[in-house]
């Protein structure tokens, strides 16, 4: 794709373009959904209190409550392909594949996000992007109708297409072009109060699944939420309830822990908004909500397997429980998940960065490749310290929970042939899953990056750098 990853005089750095874009999205969404502005204020005040206890770095504090992610849903493979081209200009690539059909939501998804440590630090903004699986609508006539409606819409402005092509040709955008590009890109994510179908069509699609109506009936893939980071999601959730927001009953993800892992999220639910249909009728549509998140350590495959197993164990009777009772129950089940960084490292449950301690600094050249002890020994002997690598991705079970809580509790039942293939033996299920990932990648026009590959690489590189010093190897 030939987009420059470093700033030069002529072209704007993709990280800078992403920063402009995320700020533009934030202003636009606050103007469109005023309650989201209230949520940002609430989170900023909680973060300010917490920051005094947790963070010392002032520059980090300034960026604390900025949005970490947003989400959109697209209708066709062609639309998805356009986003691959749009997001790469902002330094964002498809990471992680999430098949939500297994959780009753007729989409599969990826997250477009920056991947290098430096890019994440400069602006971590990412967009969770879901592709509707129209083939799962069992009513053939309705499926055809949905396809035809989608085929007629154009979600990018003409100018945006021109700028994307220009960027691809010249391998970057000048500052003026980049500002133009961000302005044009924002149009794609705006809300449309005017549906592109009549009321009857909306109702038929809504009946098949509310999500189908949300994707098919509008002129573009409106941003459906933005999500700032909070330092204390339990306090923020309480505050949201107190201030009268229609808040999700449960925080998605792991319970409160000393050592936070993965991702915890909650939201105020989608608001019913007045829309007008092509035939002049008025109605309401619920799509847009406000979410908050708190992130912890990325887990290894082994750690993730333990997390998934405990979540299944905890999940059997969650709906009956109150918020507090659910959290207590979850905490009890998760007592089986080690909760010190040392244990998480020793048992290889999470990914870490290694740093030389002062003892390590004094041990330059002490080892050769043959005598170098393993990581755990170096940590035990105090030569290396560890800090967790933060999880930058999403959780399919949480994502499905988020979709569901904003869809007026509609359970999706796949057509019978699909239903069978989704619950057959593991081997068939595996083949099905990778088959749908292949289809998704074909639409994207590129391979999806595996999140754990990135974390493992970061861990490995930091170990290499630290131990090179201990072996007296100069870089
Ligand atoms: C996306 C839901 C997934 C998250 O934070 O897991 C998501 C959607 O509702 O379109 O954003
Ligand atoms: Ni989200």
Residue 27, domain CATH: 3.10.180.80
339 part of a folded domain = no
Do 431 and 469 lie in one domain? The reply is no
Determine whether the shortest distance from the Cβ of 394 to ligand 1 is under 6 A.
Answer: yes
Do 125 and 191 lie in one domain? The reply is yes
377 part of a folded domain = yes
pLDDT of residue 402: 80
229 part of a folded domain = yes
pLDDT digits (tens, 9 = 90+) for 47-66: 988 887 775 555 566 667 77
Q: Residue 426 pLDDT > 60, yes or no?
A: no
pLDDT digits (tens, 9 = 90+) for 260-275: 999 999 999 998 999 9
pLDDT of residue 405: 76
Determine whether the shortest distance from the Cβ of 195 to ligand 1 is under 6 A.
Answer: no
Do 132 and 85 lie in one domain? The reply is yes
Range picked from 282-291, 397-406, 427-436, 466-475 for highest mean pLDDT? 282-291
Do 80 and 155 lie in one domain? The reply is yes
Do 128 and 69 lie in one domain? The reply is yes
Q: Residue 391 pLDDT > 90, yes or no?
A: yes
Do 198 and 129 lie in one domain? The reply is yes
Q: Which ligand does the CA of 406 lie closest to? A: 1
Query: Where is average pLDDT lowest: 173-177, 183-187, 294-298, 312-316?
Result: 312-316
Determine whether the shortest distance from the Cβ of 289 to ligand 1 is under 6 A.
Answer: no
Q: CB neighbours of 470 closer than 8 A, spacing ≥ 6?
A: 356, 360, 363, 364, 365, 366, 367, 372, 378, 383
406 alpha carbon – ligand 1 mean position (Å) = 10
Q: Which ligand does the CA of 395 lie closest to? A: 1
Do 357 and 440 lie in one domain? The reply is no
Query: Considering only CA atoms, which residue is closest to atom 4 of ligand 1?
Result: 399
Determine whether the shortest distance from the Cβ of 294 to ligand 1 is under 6 A.
Answer: no
Determine whether the shortest distance from the Cβ of 436 to ligand 1 is under 6 A.
Answer: no
222 alpha carbon – ligand 2 mean position (Å) = 14
Do 243 and 145 lie in one domain? The reply is yes
Determine whether the shortest distance from the Cβ of 404 to ligand 1 is under 6 A.
Answer: no
Kindly give the interhelix angle for 14-32 and 34-54, rounded to the nearest 10 degrees. Answer: 120
Query: Considering only CA atoms, which residue is closest to atom 3 of ligand 1?
Result: 399
394 alpha carbon – ligand 2 mean position (Å) = 8
330 part of a folded domain = no
Report the domain count for the chain: 2
Do 69 and 81 lie in one domain? The reply is yes
pLDDT of residue 60: 62
Which residue range is the domain that position 360 belongs to? 352-388+447-475
- pLDDT band with cut points at 50, 70 and 90 for residue 399: confident
Query: Considering only CA atoms, which residue is closest to atom 1 of ligand 1?
Result: 71
pLDDT of residue 432: 52
Do 108 and 180 lie in one domain? The reply is yes
């Amino acid at each position: 794709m030939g987009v420059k990853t470093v700033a030069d005089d002529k072209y704007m750095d993709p990280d800078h373009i992403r920063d402009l874009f995320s700020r533009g999205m934030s202003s636009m969404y606050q103007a469109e959904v005023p309650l989201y502005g209230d949520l940002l204020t609430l989170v900023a005040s909680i973060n300010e209190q917490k920051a005094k206890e947790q963070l010392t770095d002032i520059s980090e504090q300034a960026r604390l409550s900025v949005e970490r992610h947003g989400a959109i849903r697209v209708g066709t493979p062609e639309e998805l392909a356009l986003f691959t081209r749009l997001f790469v200009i902002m330094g964002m690539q498809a990471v992680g594949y999430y098949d939500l059909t297994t959780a009753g939501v007729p989409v599969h998804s990826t997250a477009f996000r920056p991947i290098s440590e430096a890019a994440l630090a400069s602006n971590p903004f990412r967009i969770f992007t879901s592709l509707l699986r129209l083939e799962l609508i069992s009513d053939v006539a309705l499926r055809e109708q949905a396809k035809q409606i989608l085929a007629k819409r154009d979600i990018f402005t003409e100018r945006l297409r021109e700028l994307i092509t220009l960027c691809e040709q010249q391998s970057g955008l000048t500052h003026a072009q980049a500002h133009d590009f961000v302005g044009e890109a924002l149009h794609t994510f705006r809300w449309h109060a005017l549906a592109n179908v009549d009321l009857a069509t909306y109702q038929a699609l809504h009946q098949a699944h509310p999500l189908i109506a949300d994707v098919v009936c509008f002129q573009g893939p409106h941003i459906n939420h933005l999500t700032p980071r909070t330092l204390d999601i339990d306090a923020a959730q309480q505050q949201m309830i107190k201030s009268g927001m229609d808040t999700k009953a449960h925080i998605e993800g792991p319970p409160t822990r000393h050592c936070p892992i993965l991702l915890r999220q909650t939201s105020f639910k989608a608001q019913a908004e007045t829309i007008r249909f092509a035939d002049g009728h008025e109605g309401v549509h619920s799509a847009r909500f406000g979410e908050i998140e708190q992130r912890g350590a990325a887990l290894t495959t082994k750690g993730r397997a333990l997390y998934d197993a405990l979540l299944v164990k905890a999940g059997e009777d969650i709906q009956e429980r109150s918020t507090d009772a659910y959290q207590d129950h979850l905490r009890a089940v998760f007592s089986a998940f080690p909760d010190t960084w040392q244990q998480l490292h020793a048992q290889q449950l999470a990914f870490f960065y290694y740093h030389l301690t002062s003892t390590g600094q004094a041990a330059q050249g002490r080892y050769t490749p043959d005598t170098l002890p393993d990581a755990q020994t170096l940590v035990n002997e105090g030569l290396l310290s560890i800090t967790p690598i933060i999880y930058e991705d999403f959780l399919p079970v949480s994502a499905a929970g988020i979709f569901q809580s904003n869809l007026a509790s509609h359970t999706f039942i796949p057509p019978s042939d699909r239903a069978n293939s989704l619950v057959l033996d593991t081997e068939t299920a595996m083949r099905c899953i990778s088959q749908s990932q292949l289809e998704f990648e074909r639409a994207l026009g590129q391979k999806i990056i595996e999140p754990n590959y990135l974390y493992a690489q970061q861990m490995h590189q930091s170990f290499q750098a630290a131990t090179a010093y201990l072996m007296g190897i100069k870089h």
